[in-house]
Every structure is written in structure tokens, then in C-alpha cells.
């Protein structure tokens, strides 16, 4: 991990982000130190803490992040769990803290479809989001991803990448290097404003 969980704003008694998670910060750090796989160590986090962890990975890699970004478009309300920005890319992350269960592949495909719709609507409304501070960006590439607790059989669906949390840091490093700029996994690139 790039820095300790305490430095990420977690509380030793209540877990990450001050919620009442199932495990404490000390328990989580001890699990990772003792050799427990990262995804196994994080499976007892509450979903809010899982979103916080995803946001922290992007932040530690130089992205500005916004959690639970809500907006309306075409008389519908949308929410993106984590919006991560580093010029010229915006990552729209939907965090899926799901356990292993039957029918998960079809649920994951449905989630990817729904997230693609959210990402497209987010892109359509982007000029209205002054808080994001992208008004002076000449072009923007929006990359929708689902972040999962475990490695899934699906790695991409309808242009939405499926990234297990234990591979998220590597994904972000590849993203920053421009690796995904040459393949068609992005929703669209917005040209000059």
C-alpha cells in the first residue's frame, strides 16, 4: 500500500472513513502484514469503506477524486461512486463489493451496461460540472470501470473494464502511462470545448 491506512483517514476503532465497518483498521492492517491476500483482507470492509479505498488508490497516484458524484440528466438521477481526474482522463468508477454468488456474471454484465449509461450521461453533462475543474481541458477521455472485490471471469463488457481491487494500483499505473489510450475501452473523447 502506498501509505498506511491511518494516513488515509481511517480510525483504529471504527474502521475506514469513520463508519462502523465489520473490522477495525488494526485488524485490516494486521491481516495484510500477516500475508493475507489483499482482496481477502478487504472483504470485511463495508461498501462505503470499499469505495473509500478505491478513491484512495486514485488519490495516491495523483488523481483528484470525488466520491458519490450525483447528477441529473433527462429527468433521471445518477451517481458515480468515484470520479478520478488526471488530465486528459476522467475515470468513472462503480465499486462492486459483491460476494461470490450464483448468477454473478449476468449481474456484472447488467451492472456494466448500467454504468456505461451513467458514464455517457456524465459525459453529456460534463460542461455543467464546474466543481470538477475541467473547463480549461482541451480534450477529455472518459473511462468507465467497475471495481470488484474478487477477480471475475469478465474483464470487459460493452467498453466497461472490470478491475479487481487487488489489481487497481497496476491498472492506474497503466492508465497513467497511456496504455489504455490506444485501445477502444473508453466511452468517448470530448474535443475542444
Query: If you average pLDDT over residues 142-151, what whole number do you get?
Result: 89
Tens-place pLDDT, residues 53-93: 899 889 989 999 999 999 999 899 999 999 999 998 999 99
Kindly tell me if the per-residue pLDDT of 26 is higher than 60.
Answer: no
Domain ranges, ordered by start, for the chain: 46-190
Kindly tell me if the per-residue pLDDT of 19 is higher than 60.
Answer: no
pTM: 0.78
> Which of the two residues, 39 and 54, has the higher pLDDT score?
54
Query: If you average pLDDT over residues 93-101, what whole number do you get?
Result: 82
Average pLDDT, the chain: 79
pLDDT given at position 4: 45
pLDDT given at position 139: 83
pLDDT given at position 22: 55
pLDDT given at position 28: 63
Query: If you average pLDDT over residues 129-158, what whole number do you get?
Result: 86
CATH architecture of the domain covering 46-190? 3-Layer(aba) Sandwich (3.40)
Asked if residue 160 lies in contact with residue 148, where contact means CB atoms within 8 angstroms, the answer is no
Amino acid at each position: 500500500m502506498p501509505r498506511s491506512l491511518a494516513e488515509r483517514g481511517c480510525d483504529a476503532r471504527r474502521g475506514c472513513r469513520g463508519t462502523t465497518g465489520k473490522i477495525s483498521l488494526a485488524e485490516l492492517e494486521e491481516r495484510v502484514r500477516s500475508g493475507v491476500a489483499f482482496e481477502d483482507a478487504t472483504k470485511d470492509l463495508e461498501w462505503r469503506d470499499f469505495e473509500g479505498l478505491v478513491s484512495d488508490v486514485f488519490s495516491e497516484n495523483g488523481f483528484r477524486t470525488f466520491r458519490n458524484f450525483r447528477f441529473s440528466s433527462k429527468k433521471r438521477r445518477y451517481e458515480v461512486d468515484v470520479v478520478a481526474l488526471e488530465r486528459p482522463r476522467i475515470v468513472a468508477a462503480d465499486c462492486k463489493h459483491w460476494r461470490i454468488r450464483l448468477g454473478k456474471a449476468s449481474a456484472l454484465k447488467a451492472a456494466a451496461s448500467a454504468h456505461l449509461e451513467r458514464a455517457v450521461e456524465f459525459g453529456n453533462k460534463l460542461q455543467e460540472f464546474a466543481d470538477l475543474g475541467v473547463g480549461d481541458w482541451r480534450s477529455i477521455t472518459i473511462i468507465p470501470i467497475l471495481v470488484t472485490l474478487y477477480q471475475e471471469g469478465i474483464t470487459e463488457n460493452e467498453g466497461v473494464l472490470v478491475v479487481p481491487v487487488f489489481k487497481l494500483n497496476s491498472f492506474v499505473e497503466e492508465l497513467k502511462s497511456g496504455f489504455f489510450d490506444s485501445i477502444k475501452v473508453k466511452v468517448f473523447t470530448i474535443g475542444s470545448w
